[in-house]
Structure 1
Amino acid sequence: MLTIGFPAAAFGTNCYVLATGPGEDCVVVDPGIGVEDQVAEVCREHRLRPTAVLLTHGHLDHVYAVTPVCGGDTAAGVPANPAYIHQDDRYRLVDPIAMLDDGLVEMLESQFGRRATWREPERVVTVIGGEHLQLAGLDVAIAHAPGHTEGSVMFTIPRLPDQLGDGSGLSATCLSGDVLFAGSIGRSDLAGGDPAAMERSLREVVLPMPDDVLVLPGHGPQTTIGRERTTNPYLQGLKA
């Protein structure tokens, strides 16, 4: 699986472009702040055709560029690609900027030298846990894992990045959003967060996953379920 990840221009949010190979359709996961040009460059370099955007949750730093990355031109009759998000976070796509405090908005506008604006995606598809999506030749399993937000999800694909090769000993790739990081987890003290729900998600969704699953998180470096099971302090003492 062609897998290209890079950080957004703010908050170190990881954006990923996934495809079965060069010259094929692709999906974009969590297009955060200022990633439009890099997504376009990746697609040009590898001759990829974006067909969908997957959102692990609705926080601004993971969705800010979703509308331009989805593309489309209403005036020209060119439909936008769909954006997939869990039904419980759908409301966040109405205007995620309005959910930020004024100080954070001012900081963003100061950093980028322009007013923060938002346009809701034209095509939004809501999903639920347990669904499987067939997108760009990839089988994407959705696990609902609330706690960071109400509609946080993890996407698992039974393929591995090409650069790992066949000798990695791994079996699948999980895009964990802000549920699980290398050595940490997403915070649950923001609006819509729930510490009890986060603990349940870790216990009932994360811990049952096989050790040989590669984890591509929403922030920070990649890891594996096995590594986090033995070293992540937030998983210690939990039983699946």
Structure 2
Amino acid sequence: MLTIGFPAAAFGTNCYVLATGVGEECLVVDPGIGVEEPLRQVLTENRLRPSAVLLTHGHIDHIYSVTPVCGGDTAAYIHGDDRYRLHDALGHANAGLVAMLEQQFGTAATWREPEHVVDLKDRQQLALAGLDLEVLHAPGHTEGSVLFAMPTVPDGLGESAGVRSTVLSGDVLFAGSIGRTDLPGGDGAAMQRSLRDVVLPLPDTTLVLPGHGQATTMQHERATNPYLQGLTA
């Protein structure tokens, strides 16, 4: 699986591009703030054509560039419980954050809802751009946070690296940490249930591609992440 990740211009949000290979259709995951130009370069250099945009949740730092990427038959996929966040992303964002963005980029922040949106459900199976994914609903950071689980791994990795599958964890699980639960829509108790019932059952051989920070593995997180200690799947 061709896997290209790069940070957005704000908050270090990871945007991922996934495809079966060069010159194919691709999936764009979490196109955040200021990713349009680097994303355009990735698509051009690898001759990729977006067939869908996958959103791990509806926070503005993960969805801000979704509409420029979507268009035509390219839809945005988001869990139904976070669907409302696409109606008015700026309205759901902190006013100070919007002001900071406008100061950083020198232009007024604008938002336009994607024309085509697909509501996701827990355990839904997706077949997009030649890739198979499973939707794992994991509320806590937001009501509709999800993980996207895949039975494949990035090119160049495999049993030699100790991984056999991949999960895009959004802001549910980071290397050594988890997503905060004190923002609107967050729920500490729901996060604990998601960590116990959704994250912990993932095999040790799972590569974790998080919404912020470096990649990790479930084996490493199970052994070292303090937020997973004491939980029993």
| TM-score of the superposed pair, with normalisation by structure 2 | 0.98
SS state of the match for residue 198, structure 1? helix
Q: Supply the distance in 2 between the matched residues of 1:203 and 1:102 (Cα, whole angstroms).
A: 34
Q: Percent identity?
A: 69
Matching of residues 15-30 of structure 1 within 5 Å: 15-30=15-30
Q: Supply the distance in 1 between the matched residues of 2:219 and 2:133 (Cα, whole angstroms).
A: 21
CA shift digits 1:93-140 (9 cap, x unpaired): 001111122222111100000000000001000011110100000001
SS state of the match for residue 114, structure 2? coil
Task: Report whether the alignment pairs 1:122 with 2:115.
Answer: yes
- Deviation of 1:164 (Å): 2.0
- Deviation of 1:172 (Å): 0.5
Task: Report whether the alignment pairs 1:154 with 2:154.
Answer: no
Q: Supply the distance in 1 between the matched residues of 2:7 and 2:216 (Cα, whole angstroms).
A: 16
Match of 2:104 among 95, 99, 111: 111
**What amino acid is the match of 2:142?**
T
Task: Show the counterpart of 2:137.
Answer: 144
Task: Show the counterpart of 2:205.
Answer: 212
Task: Report whether the alignment pairs 1:176 with 2:163.
Answer: no
Matching of residues 24-173 of structure 1 within 5 Å: 24-70=24-70, 72=71, 79-165=72-158, 167-173=160-166
Task: Show the counterpart of 1:76.
Answer: none
Q: Supply the distance in 1 between the matched residues of 2:88 and 2:165 (Cα, whole angstroms).
A: 34
Matching of residues 181-192 of structure 1 within 5 Å: 181-192=174-185
Q: Supply the distance in 1 between the matched residues of 2:57 and 2:18 (Cα, whole angstroms).
A: 18
- Deviation of 1:169 (Å): 2.2
**What amino acid is the match of 2:59?**
H
SS state of the match for residue 90, structure 1? helix
Q: Supply the distance in 1 between the matched residues of 2:159 and 2:40 (Cα, whole angstroms).
A: 29
Contact in 2 for aligned 1:147/1:188 (Cα 8 Å): yes
**What amino acid is the match of 1:120?**
E
Gaps of 5+ in 2: none
- Deviation of 1:189 (Å): 0.5
SS state of the match for residue 162, structure 1? coil
Contact in 1 for aligned 2:158/2:164 (Cα 8 Å): no
SS state of the match for residue 91, structure 2? helix
- Deviation of 1:163 (Å): 2.9
| TM-score of the superposed pair, with normalisation by structure 1 | 0.95
- Deviation of 1:181 (Å): 0.0
- Deviation of 1:80 (Å): 4.2
**What amino acid is the match of 2:129?**
A
**What amino acid is the match of 1:129?**
D
Gaps of 5+ in 1: 73-78
Contact in 1 for aligned 2:174/2:212 (Cα 8 Å): yes
Task: Show the counterpart of 2:193.
Answer: 200
- Deviation of 1:90 (Å): 0.1
SS state of the match for residue 149, structure 2? strand
Count of paired positions = 233
Contact in 2 for aligned 1:80/1:122 (Cα 8 Å): no
Q: Supply the distance in 2 between the matched residues of 1:55 and 1:226 (Cα, whole angstroms).
A: 25
Q: Supply the distance in 2 between the matched residues of 1:127 and 1:165 (Cα, whole angstroms).
A: 29
